[in-house]
Amino acid sequence: MADPRPKKAKICLCMFLCLLAAGVIAVVVGIRMRRHSSQLMKWNGTGSTAHFQEIVLERCYNYTQLVQPALRDRDCQKIREAFRNAFISKDPCSATEEDYHPLMKLVNQTVPCDKTVFWSKTKKLAHQYTKVQREMFTLEDTLLGYIADDLSWCGDAGSHEMNYQSCPHWKKDCSNNFVSVFWGLLSKRFAANACGVVQVVLNGSISNAFDGKSTFGRVEVHNLNPMKVHTLQAWVIHDLGKFPSDSCSGSSINDLSWIMKQRNIKFTCQDNYSSVKFLQCVKKPEDSSCR
Ligand X SMILES: *[C@@H]1O[C@H](CO)[C@@H](O)[C@H](O)[C@H]1NC(C)=O
3-class DSSP state of 73: coil
Site mask for ligand X (CB under 6 A), range 33-62, x = bound: ---------x-x-------------xx--x
Q: Of 1, 2, 73, 105, which one interacts with ligand X (CB under 6 A)? A: 105
Under 8 Å CB-to-CB from 6, ≥6 apart: which residues?
Answer: none
**Taking CB under 6 A as the rule, does residue 125 contact ligand X?**
yes
Nearer to ligand X, 36 or 244 (CB): 244
Site mask for ligand X (CB under 6 A), range 227-246, x = bound: ----------xxxx---x--
Residue pair 252/211 in contact (Cβ under 8 Å)? The answer is yes
Q: Which of 113, 174, 281, 290 is catalytic?
A: 113
14 is catalytic: no
Report the DSSP beta bridge partners of residue 231.
Answer: 197, 266
Contact range with ligand X by CB under 6 A, out of 21-29, 78-86, 102-110, 149-157: 102-110
Residue pair 273/237 in contact (Cβ under 8 Å)? The answer is yes
Instruction: Give me the half-sphere count of Cα atoms (radius 13 Å) on the Cβ side of residue 134.
Output: 3
**Taking CB under 6 A as the rule, does residue 223 contact ligand X?**
no
174 is catalytic: no
**Taking CB under 6 A as the rule, does residue 289 contact ligand X?**
yes
**Taking CB under 6 A as the rule, does residue 271 contact ligand X?**
yes
Report the DSSP beta bridge partners of residue 268.
Answer: 233
Q: Position 105: which residue type?
A: K
**Taking CB under 6 A as the rule, does residue 283 contact ligand X?**
no
Taking the complex as a whole, the smallest distance from the CB of residue 123 to ligand X amounts, in Å, to: 7
Euclidean distance between CA atoms 31 and 28, whole angstroms: 5
Give buried/exposed letters for 258-274 (b at 16+ CB in 10 A, else e).
Answer: ebbeeeebebebebbbe
Under 8 Å CB-to-CB from 136, ≥6 apart: which residues?
Answer: 115, 116, 117, 129, 130, 199
Residue 232's CB: how many other CB atoms inside 10 A?
25
**Taking CB under 6 A as the rule, does residue 67 contact ligand X?**
yes
Q: Position 112: which residue type?
A: P
Nearer to ligand X, 107 or 265 (CB): 107
**Taking CB under 6 A as the rule, does residue 203 contact ligand X?**
yes
Q: Of 172, 227, 262, 264, which one interacts with ligand X (CB under 6 A)? A: 172
Q: What is the 8-class DSSP label of residue 159?
A: B
**Taking CB under 6 A as the rule, does residue 66 contact ligand X?**
yes
**Taking CB under 6 A as the rule, does residue 274 contact ligand X?**
no
Q: Of 108, 262, 264, 274, which one interacts with ligand X (CB under 6 A)? A: 108
Euclidean distance between CA atoms 210 and 278, whole angstroms: 22
- Which positions are catalytic? 113, 195
Residues binding ligand X (CB under 6 A): 42, 44, 58-59, 62, 66-67, 105, 108, 110, 121-122, 124-125, 172, 203, 205-206, 237-240, 244, 247, 271-272, 289
